[in-house]
Amino acid sequence: MPSPAPTPPDRGLRRSGATLVTGAGGEVGHGLLGAMHAAGRRNIVAIDLRGFDEGQQALCRETIVGDICERPLLQRLQSMYEITEIYHLAALLSTRTEFTPEAGHEINVGGTLKLLHLAAAQARSHGKRVKFMFPSSIAVYGLSDLAAKERAGAVGEDEFTQPTTMYGCNKLYCEHLGRYYAHHYRQLVQDRMDHTVDFRGIRYPGLISAETLPSGGTSDYAAEMVHAAAEGKPYSCFVRPDTRIPFMTMPGAIEALLVLAATDEQRLSRCVYNVKSFSPSAAELADLVGEFFPGALITFEPDPQRQAIMDSWPLDVDDSAARADWGYQPRHDLRSAFKEYLVPGIKARYKTL
Ligand code: SER
């Protein structure tokens, strides 16, 4: 009779393969974990400072409540997992960061630097490149005034990058850090391993989700006015009716991130890409909300400081590079975003709460 198979000697010593998602409890993280799980991915390790609900825990191999800036956490990840992809979503958004710019910098830049270092260390330890997906933002742009914003129209990735917010500065610098890690990291060192990090950034416009509400952003008014209407609450919008920047829905944003991640590297001509779906004014948004939620009460009481930030962001972005290189296509136009996604999703959300 054959004897039972011996326990493999390396049991417990091998690291498990993993995709790491930071800031996974946030708005983009919520949608991303669901989309990855739906695509059959079962090796997700998710981190968030704020914790996770049960639904999210069920989508992940491990959920870790912790701060990405903490060394012991990063060391544990390095010792436990063979990470091949990182989705680094953790960040403090533009409005919140203006109250504590140095803390914002620590999270947005310090956190990104640590994660890029982890990516490079991982690549060195398992010998494969680590893909690093980075959501950047329309906040990297800075137009000097409304006339300049009008004149600029749809801005390209390399134009008008003089952000006026700490968050915008952070995101822009992190794009440069990503490019540096991808192409020049430790360039003078003898035992340098080439191309350890495959950095890919996507500059999101304002995002609107039916499932979650944003917090601490300056483009939050769009989502806030739809959610308030669905709850039957009045909403006072903190920007002028004529305020215009591009937006996209959360499913569109997640799809774009996953398509960019899946694209053959040879097709990518840049490290960072603009994307957008539609570019409504705040008044146009309010009109649509009123059409789908008759009786919605939306007033405009602009906050001068937050208005100034919105006035510095472009009214449109040129996403032709994303379309040409990786076939980006907006998932929704403004009306279909409301009709097919936001209105049914938000109604369902508030009915079940
Ligand atoms: N939505 C973000 C903000 O308003 C911009 O990326 O801060």
* Concatenated DSSP letters of 262-286: HS-GGG---SEEE--SB--BHHHHH
204 CA → ligand 1 middle, Å: 8
Tokens of 80: 């436990």
167 CA → ligand 1 middle, Å: 8
Q: What are the beta bridge partners of residue 62?
A: 45
206 CA → ligand 1 middle, Å: 6
17 CA → ligand 1 middle, Å: 32
- Distance between CA 141 and CA 291 in Å, rounded? 32
Query: How much is the pLDDT for 353?
Result: 55
Could you identify the atom of ligand 1 that is nearest to the CA of residue 171?
6
Nearest by Cα to 140 from 184, 186, 193, 178: 178
Helix 71-80 × helix 111-126 angle, to 10°: 20
Q: Are 104 and 167 spatial neighbours (Cβ–Cβ below 8 Å)?
A: yes
Ligand 1 probe mutation, 98, 218, 311, most atoms within 8 A of CB? 218
Given the structure tokens 């009214």, which residue do they identify? 315
Q: Are 82 and 15 spatial neighbours (Cβ–Cβ below 8 Å)?
A: yes
- Could you read off the pLDDT tens digit of each residue along the chain, which spans 353 residues? 444 544 444 455 688 899 999 999 999 999 999 999 999 999 999 999 999 999 999 999 999 999 999 999 999 999 999 999 999 999 999 999 999 999 999 999 999 999 999 999 999 999 999 999 999 999 999 999 999 999 999 999 999 999 999 999 999 999 999 999 999 999 998 888 878 999 999 999 999 999 999 889 999 999 999 999 999 999 999 999 999 999 999 999 999 999 999 999 999 999 999 999 999 999 999 999 999 999 999 999 999 999 999 999 999 999 999 999 999 999 999 999 999 999 999 988 887 55
- Distance between CA 35 and CA 140 in Å, rounded? 27
- Distance between CA 309 and CA 197 in Å, rounded? 33
Number of H helices, E strands in the chain: 15, 13
Q: What is the dihedral of CA 16, 67, 51, 223, to 10 degrees?
A: -110
Given the structure tokens 């533009």, which residue do they identify? 94
The domains found in the chain, sorted by start residue, are 91-351 (3.40.50.720)
Tokens of 131: 């893909």
Could you identify the atom of ligand 1 that is nearest to the CA of residue 137?
6
Could you identify the atom of ligand 1 that is nearest to the CA of residue 93?
7
Given the structure tokens 């937006």, which residue do they identify? 247
For 172, other C-beta atoms within 10 Å of its C-beta total 21
Nearest by Cα to 112 from 175, 26, 37: 175
Q: Are 81 and 20 spatial neighbours (Cβ–Cβ below 8 Å)?
A: yes
Pick the residue whose CA is nearest to atom 6 on ligand 1: 137
343 CA → ligand 1 middle, Å: 22
Query: How much is the pLDDT for 11?
Result: 53
Residues with CB under 6 A from ligand 1: 93-94, 137-139, 167, 204, 206, 217-219
93 CA → ligand 1 middle, Å: 6
3-state secondary structure of 178: helix
